[in-house]
Amino acid sequence: MDAFNPTKPSISKDTADSYEKRYGELERRFSRESGVNNMSPDEVVASLLQTKPTLSMSTFRQYKASILYVLDRHHPNHELAIDLLREESSAGLKKASTQTSGTKQKFVPDPVWHVLRDALSERARRGYTRSRGLLQVLEATLASGLRPNEWTTAVIATHTETQRPILRAQNSKDSNGRANGEQRELFIDGLEPEQLEAVRDAIEYCRVDDNTETVKIVRGLKNELADAKRWIMLQERGNSKVRARHLNPVTLYSFRHQFIADAKSTWSDPVLISATVGHSSTRTAFEHYGKRKNAQRRVRVLPTPESVAAVHNVKIELYKEFLQGKGPAHERGNTPT
């Protein structure tokens, strides 16, 4: 049993476990980035302090708390590193991270999209082979909301019951329980002809065969987007409408965010939105994705009844697991979240 320490607040076992897990993840990450194997506690602290300028305030505080917990518990003799980190404040850090999702813009402003679309069209005319493929993927994503890697599994098929054309894709988040089943289906007969053409072309461009892999296709799309941004800035040095600060935050995933913002404006039913974008929880889109205020167009696809039912089924299965693991809710006086 741990000794009582009046100088430190007590924490729950779940919190302690999360600290231990996060420390391990950080140690492995810093090891990969630095090329140093079996990092010492001092090296972990030094790596965190080096990375600090790229982190948000909340992220740094979480990392700091995790590392301090592990060092206090398992490596108390590393007093210098502990004191150094304990005195390090999050003051001055940005509220949003300068890495990963912190800088990913959760919508695509129309002026930026127009410039990017024109640039990709021009690059395609000039012989840049990946430009047309990227343009079709971006257009198709705005029309359907698929994740970049889901285009490699997408097919156009016929809905058995209604005989209507559908877009079917494997849910990339299904393996960790964050999707409404292994796949989702969208009715696409409401799309404009140019949108439907973009969907067909995106599927063809992202098709996986013996010589290509999903990761290579997605990497190619990202690289072409980065090349197009640089090309735009070189071509339009005197253009005051689009600057680097407008272009740089836009990523492949920004187009899925834009679709979800459009879906929120098109429908009020969160289950319908979740079924369309492949979420198991109706909260995910509203808490982590594009805002309704940034909507720019009406969504013209619709989820099939099977995809809508899958959202409900996930919630039902989770509730069954909750009941089996916890016992009758009325006896405990609480309900699942």
Among 37, 70, 101, residue at a domain's last position: 101
> How remote is the C-alpha of 275 from its chain's centroid?
17
Cβ density class 216-243: b for 16+ within 10 Å, e for less: ebbebbeebbebbbebbbeeeeeeeebe
184 and 308: one domain? yes
Length reported for the chain: 337
54 and 131: one domain? no
Identify whether 66 is part of a domain: yes
pLDDT at 204 over 60: yes
| Structure token pair of residue 175 | 């393996």
199 and 261: one domain? yes
CATH number, domain containing residue 108: 1.10.443
pLDDT at 146 over 90: yes
Among 69, 101, 133, residue at a domain's last position: 101
**Tell me, what's the pLDDT at 85?**
92
Kindly report the pTM of this predicted structure.
0.64
What is the spatial distance between Cα 204 and Cα 217, in angstroms, rounded to a whole number? 12
What is the spatial distance between Cα 171 and Cα 150, in angstroms, rounded to a whole number? 7
Which residues span the domain enclosing 280? Answer: 104-323
Let me know: does 181 contact 314? Beta carbons within 8 Å.
Answer: yes
Kindly report the average pLDDT of the chain as a whole number: 83
267 and 278: one domain? yes
84 and 193: one domain? no
Crossing angle of helices 129-144 and 252-266, in 10° steps, is 30
| Structure token pair of residue 322 | 């909750």
Let me know: does 90 contact 57? Beta carbons within 8 Å.
Answer: yes
> How remote is the C-alpha of 118 from its chain's centroid?
26
Identify whether 1 is part of a domain: no
**Tell me, what's the pLDDT at 266?**
95
